[in-house]
Structure 1
Amino acid sequence: MMQEHKETERIIFKPVFKIIILILISFVVLGALAIMLYGPKETQVALEEGSPEAIENGIHLRTGLIDAPDLQAVITNCTTCHSSQLIIQNRMGEEQWNATIRWMQKTQGLWPLGDNQKVIVDYLVKNYPPLKKGRRPALTNIEWYNLDE
């Protein structure tokens, strides 16, 4: 009797198990198709252009850097060690960028850039120059008064 019960269980559970596996595989396949067809716009742009380095509205999506000639040299040499946000927030002129590169070479282990240094600095000066508006001027001609205790 015990043998018959086990055989009945096998007969019932085997098809049920197959159906469950088939449903799980269907969910995985359909989910992958949905992501490919309706995924984030950046992914679609990258696939359409044939490159994982998509540009949208003149901005390199992965780094946030401005799309301009020699962008790839900056990505290759600069974002290897630090975030592109460090570049974007540090707006400098040619002399300051070159001094910063020398400092990174002397203290941070940056390799010699050779001819790429001029290419990189030109990109940075053109696209991330110093802002014309800086801090407010120091206050002058202030008439100070004492606060009563």
Structure 2
Amino acid sequence: MKKQNHDKLKRDFQELYRKTILASAVIAIGGIALVYFIVDPSLSAFKTNKPITEIVDVPVEEDYDKIENGIHVRTGFIDAPGMMETVQNCTNCHSSKLVMQNRMNEERWKSTIKWMQETQNLWDLGENESVIINYLVTNYPPKKVGRRAALANVEWYQLEE
């Protein structure tokens, strides 16, 4: 029994040793490649004369806050007073769609912001809080929906017991 345990430990150690050697080789090769690109970057495949905006699909500065037909193109928010404060404070953590779909009154927005500050590390909005709440309540008010619509064109059937 002891010999079997000894053989298993030996195999486990040999496997660990092979994996350690392999990982060391990968790290060494990566380090050599990194030094090569730092020492002689003119030979690297990353050299280009193109501006970064042509290489990476990044919105061009002038299009970043573009408004078309009264809508902020990047976020979909309605262009109105308080929109930029809302974009700057809310879309750091949330999709603009999430903000727009939560149609709440002033009291509910205040309690939601307080909850986010207490539990989600939202910073103090200061004077922006009232601007943001006013923007959201004005442009995305709660929808007044009563009871659900009556069912129509339903094929009823009897449940068998």
> Hey, which bits of structure 1, 4+ residues long, moved more than 2 A?
145-149
Q: Deviations over 1:19-59 (max 9, x none)?
A: xxxxxxxxxx9xxxxxxxxxxxxxxxx98xx4521111111
1:121 to 128, 133, 153: 133
**Structure 1 unaligned residues grouped into runs of 5+:** 1-28, 30-45, 140-144
Q: Name the counterpart of 1:58.
A: 70
1:106 to 108, 111, 118: 118
CA distance in 1, matches of 2:102, 2:147: 15
**Structure 2 unaligned residues grouped into runs of 5+:** 1-49, 51-58, 152-156
Q: Name the counterpart of 2:25.
A: none
After TM superposition, the score normalised by the length of structure 1 is 0.59
What amino acid is aligned across from residue 104 of structure 1 in structure 2?
A: M
1:97 to 85, 100, 109: 109
Give the 3-state SS of the residue equivalent to 2:65 in structure 1: coil
CA distance in 2, matches of 1:135, 1:69: 33
Q: Deviations over 1:62-93 (max 9, x none)?
A: 00111101111001110011111111111000
Identity %: 59
Q: Name the counterpart of 1:86.
A: 98
What amino acid is aligned across from residue 94 of structure 2 in structure 1?
A: H
The answer to whether residue 57 in structure 2 is matched with residue 72 in structure 1 is no
CA distance in 1, matches of 2:107, 2:150: 26
CA distance in 1, matches of 2:107, 2:74: 28
Matched positions, count: 103
Q: Name the counterpart of 1:26.
A: none
Q: CA RMSD in A?
A: 3.1
CA distance in 1, matches of 2:147, 2:125: 33
The answer to whether residue 159 in structure 2 is matched with residue 147 in structure 1 is yes
> Structure 1 stretch 130-139 or stretch 97-106: which is displaced more?
130-139
Question: Residues 135 and 112 from structure 1, CA distance in 2 versus in 1: closer, same or farther, beyond 3 angstroms?
Answer: farther
After TM superposition, the score normalised by the length of structure 2 is 0.55
CA distance in 1, matches of 2:104, 2:91: 17
